Amino acid sequence: MQQLEGKVVVVTGASSGIGRALALELVATGARVVAAARNRDELLGLAAEAKSRWGRDVHVITADVTRPEDNESLVAETVQAHGRLDVFVANAGMTMRARLVDADLESLRRVFEVNFWGARYGIRAALPHVVAQGGSIVGVSSIAGYRGLPGRAAYSGSKFDLNGLLEVVRAEYLAQGLHVLTACPGFTQSNIRKRALKADGSPGGESFRNEGEMMTAEQCAVHIVRAIVQRRRTLILTRQGRLAVWLNKLWPSLADRLVWQTMRREADPVV
């Protein structure tokens, strides 16, 4: 997509899942991609794949989004190396499967630190540079940010907060023409479920849903990149996701029952 060719794009949480797919899709458009995550080995694997497929470099930066100083350094290193920052994609995320009453409090806090505070720190650091370029702030949220999911108290809560943050940023910079995209995938094939925390805070280690029935991370990335180019306000993916958002607005009591039934069908349900 020519509109992104030569643009400098930061993607957090780029070591796996949607973030990795996004980074590769952006490289394919000709964007200059800065990939950030905690796992440097996985980032280097991403860079090697981009080089072998398109002959293009990916700038790899190891960063923990829950640390404000890492976000500041990420943005500063990007601008120093590339002279600008056009698009900042706050993608890093994690989830937890537990009823609120059963969930370890520190683990609940950790999910918010990654999904909300991590996005806030990164967006705040990136804003002056992105605004100067008339660029885009992208938050990879979730359908769970529009409709609370039973057994996902921390995840849904953090994504509701992220959606609100993105609305605030959009409104605050309305006069400057800043583009803000709230991208909300439905259930997508990724490692997020395998890495989901259990009630006691330990990692689950395996997916609890049929991954084969879901949109792939690569398909999700294509939609998000297209939405960036089109400067869309909101992207809600999958038919199930759009139905959940629509029903929650028009018939919330039915939405309550349907989401409960959906989560009950998971392997080893927690509700």
Instruction: State pLDDT tens for residues 173-231.
Output: 999 999 999 999 987 766 665 677 888 878 765 655 555 567 899 999 999 999 999 99
C-alpha–C-alpha distance, residues 185 and 203, integer Å: 22
Residues tagged active-site: 155
109-130 per-position pLDDT tens digit: 999 999 999 999 999 999 999 9
User: Using CA atoms in the order 264, 117, 38, 215, what is the torsion angle rounded to 10 degrees?
Assistant: 40
In this structure, what are the phi and psi dihedrals at residue 36, rounded to the nearest 5 degrees? -125, 140
Question: Is the pTM here over 0.85, yes or no?
Answer: yes
- As a whole number, mean pLDDT of residues 135-145 equals 96
Strands of the sheet with 8-12, listed across from one edge: 59-62, 32-37, 8-12, 87-90, 136-140, 179-184, 234-236
